[in-house]
Chain A
Amino acid sequence: MAISRRRLLASGASLGALSVSDAVFAPVVAQNKPVRIGVLAPRSGIAAAPGENGIRATEWAAQRFNAEGGIAGRKIELVIEEESSPKDTIERFSKLVQQEKVDCVQGIISTGVGLALGPVVEEARALTIYWDGTTQDGVDEKIPNPRFLFRSTDNECEAIMSSLLTLKHWKGKFATVAGINPDYSYGRNNMAAFVALLKRFNIEHKVVTEQWPKVGTMDLTSHVAALKAAKPDLIFSSLLFADLPVFMKQAHAAGLTEGTKLVFPAAGWQHTLMKKEFTPEGMLFGHNTLYFANPNASALAKEFVSWYEKTYKDYPEWEADRAYFAIASYKAAVEKAAKTKNGSWPSQNDVIDAMSGLSVESLGGKGSWRKDHIAEQTFVQGFTTHKNNYDFVTLGTFETMFSTDLQKPPGANFWEWIKTAQFKV
């Protein structure tokens, strides 16, 4: 990766600034020993694409931080392992912690793996930050108060946001609802959350059909035919793997996308494949925690997106933000903890204490950690437009919400919370 002269000078300037104000917490401990971060991400199969996004973002962040002096003076070294099945991922995690002796493990996208790995993380007493994994079985939290494990926002955040936006913009404009969601816990949770919110706000609706295609199915023509036959006013879909653009393509070919309101909370994972040819305008489209073309994005985010585009000829999706948030909050926590110890390297316990309640500027906006070690992040969803210079859809108008308005508070039961929470509609 070629570093432009301007970038080098810029980092040199920031280095200078660092060395003046941060002399206080340049650690006494061996400055030449790097801090090792283990990365566990999928590199094959259906989640390989977001895994790659996350790895690239972590590498970018590490390079950037290292150019500025690393984490509290120590350079970052990444050790990358593959997330696959629960059993194999637990083994790679054990290798990272026991053999490679990394200081922190970051990664995990699959829910099943996250659930299996959670107890192992606690037993191993190894600080671990999940990118996208949760420890929920459905909507029930299985590890309510972990010490060493930090998890991402609940899976239902995007569905709740979509529901709220649907109510805000389309209330009274639809009577029949259809769902087409991937047949696993994520799809089921999303659909359940959407329907639950409609009920909560007493929106008259009739669910005319629910399609549950097998995760990753490439032939959705029959599902499209079934949807067409049911004639819904609104289609809710949390499809997010390679099947999403395929569905869009086949739905468009069958004339399903014209005149139907489309609510797709997780479409951002495949956003560069959602080509204008078959993806209509005015579709409610969720980018979760990173919308790459956000005009209000920070300079950091814009720099990342342009670097990603130049290096990989592609545009990042939200997994990149999750990965960045993990490594950035780790860095912030270590540096905060080191400050309180007057410059010596903090222990893992100190870092964990520092990270609870910590807030950082992530790529997609503000992000922070709750006391129960679940992330709070900024979500973006909006309506698609074709007015751009890409061959895929972007957002015309969009809204930003923070997850405090989208996910259940610590210890709450999901269904009770839906009934009683004060939603900002």
Chain B
Amino acid sequence: MKSASALTVALMGTAALGLLPYVLAPYYIGLLVPFFGYAIALLGFNLLFGYTGLLSFGHAMFLGLGAYGAAVIAGVLGVKSFELVLLGVIMATMIIALPIGFVCVRYTGIFFGMLTLAFGMLFHSFLFKFYHLTGGDSGMRVPRMSILGFEFAGYNKIEFLAGPFYFYCLALLVVAGFIMWRIVHSPFGLHLRTIRDNAHKAESLGVYVHGLRLAAFVISAAFGAAGGAILGLRVGLADPELVYWTQSGQLVFMAVLGGFSNFFGPIVGALTFTLLQDQLRSVTEYWRFILGVVLAVIVIGFPEGVAGLAVDLRRRLAGKPA
């Protein structure tokens, strides 16, 4: 994707998201705060999946680390600045991701997926079992924090979430997107894609496959933690269900729905999934079935996802050959 067109898309997207609070009902704005969390986490996830070719089925673990980290740093340690909390959870998660990644990235494909699923569920059991530390099934409280030094004490939590925090998260998404864009278009990113396409050849060319995969893993964990902190603040609670393997599956679903071979795909996927799930839930109690069908249809028929469809459409409108 060319930088110019990407910039256009990014600008338009940011503007659209920025205008939404003036157009949509407050409920939908509140609904979009988790979307920002997922979008940031998915940017990291896609570095691992779309660009490095490693499908993790335990990625929810990093979101959990972000949320629980926020609970510990803000709740237990009393640090109320969201920026410091973000920094803290990102660093802590990267440190934890290092040994886990070291073990996991030795493998690819399905084995990697299974290992990450196992580690994710290990973390889930840990959260449940060591309830004196983690609150068990009741979870840990994530208190309200100040953003950019402002308390916004005059706003109640709902107004805070639909107002200042919404724009703050939008800004975070833009920053995260910019950082990820630079990563992906750096030599590092190029190496990752080479590894994805043909690991053996890359190795013979002197690329340190294991190390680079590990780096991608740890970076994706960092983005996941940031997303998790946003989720934790929104819900006000970090609970073990955040980390269950079906939540990891949901992350993959979002990435595939949006289109993982497109830079903006995961963001589109997170938005589509959030809105789709909300609408389906109001219509039927069998929404899981419908989501399953949607996933199957996407995987079989539209592997490029929504973003891929959009790119296709644009190409066709521009009259270019497929």
Contacts and interface: CB of A to CB of B under 8 A. Distances in A.
Contacts of B30: 91, 94, 98
Interface residues of A, number: 31
A90 interface: yes
B235 A112 contact: no
A205 B111 CA distance: 51
Contacts of A188: 131, 136
B290 interface: no
Contact of A90 (B141, B235, B242): B235
Interface in A60-110: 81-82, 85-87, 90-92, 94-95, 98-99
Interface string A121-160: 0011000000000000110001000000000000000000
Given A86-B237, A112-B138, A116-B235, A92 B157 contact: no
A171 B183 CA distance: 71
B237 A185 contact: no
B281 interface: yes
Interface residues of B, number: 31
Contacts of B278: 91, 95
B308 interface: no
Contact of A112 (B234, B236, B239): B239
Contacts of B129: 183
A152 B25 CA distance: 32
A98 B27 contact: yes
Contacts of A215: 137
Contact of A98 (B26, B234, B239): B26
A98 B24 CA distance: 12
A301 B91 CA distance: 58
A111 B128 CA distance: 14
Given A81-B281, A86-B235, A98 B25 contact: yes
Contacts of B157: 119-120, 123
B229 to A, nearest CB: 14
Interface string B134-160: 011111010000000000000011100
A415 interface: no
A184 interface: yes
A120 B142 CA distance: 13
Nearest to B67: A87
Interface in B24-57: 25-27, 30-31, 34
Contact of A86 (B26, B136, B241): B241
A18 B237 CA distance: 46
A230 interface: no
Contacts of B26: 98
Contacts of B236: 116, 119-120
A123 to B, nearest CB: 4
B37 to A, nearest CB: 10
A185 B139 contact: no
B139 A184 contact: no
Contacts of B231: 87
Contacts of A397: none
Nearest to B158: A123
Q: Which of A43, A44, A99 has the most CB of B within 10 A?
A: A99
Contacts of A283: none
A94 to B, nearest CB: 5
A184 B25 contact: no
Interface string A178-211: 0000011100100000000000000000000000
B137 A112 contact: yes
Nearest to B142: A116
B27 A99 contact: yes
A94 B31 contact: yes
Contacts of B241: 85-86, 112
Contacts of A123: 156-158
Contacts of B27: 94-95, 98-99
A115 interface: yes
A111 B288 contact: no
Interface in B77-129: 128-129
Contacts of A99: 25, 27
A166 B181 CA distance: 67
A137 B141 CA distance: 10
Contacts of A91: 30-31, 34, 278
Contacts of A95: 27, 278, 282
Q: Which of A112, A138, A184, A185 has the most CB of B within 10 A?
A: A112
A85 B239 contact: yes
B239 A86 contact: yes
A92 B129 CA distance: 29
Interface string B270-292: 00000000100110010010000
A120 B285 CA distance: 24
A139 to B, nearest CB: 11
A184 B156 contact: no
A183 B237 contact: no
A323 B272 CA distance: 35
A81 B128 CA distance: 27
Contact of A44 (B138, B234, B237, B288): B288
- For the complex of A and B, the 10 pairs showing the least CB-CB separation, nearest first, are A98-B27, A116-B237, A184-B137, A85-B241, A123-B157, A99-B27, A87-B235, A123-B156, A112-B137, A43-B285
Interface of A: 43-44, 81-82, 85-87, 90-92, 94-95, 98-99, 111-112, 115-116, 119-120, 123-124, 137-138, 142, 183-185, 188, 214-215
17 contacts: A44-B285, A81-B281, A82-B281, A86-B239, A87-B34, A91-B31, A94-B31, A94-B158, A95-B27, A111-B137, A116-B235, A120-B157, A137-B138, A185-B131, A185-B136, A185-B138, A188-B131
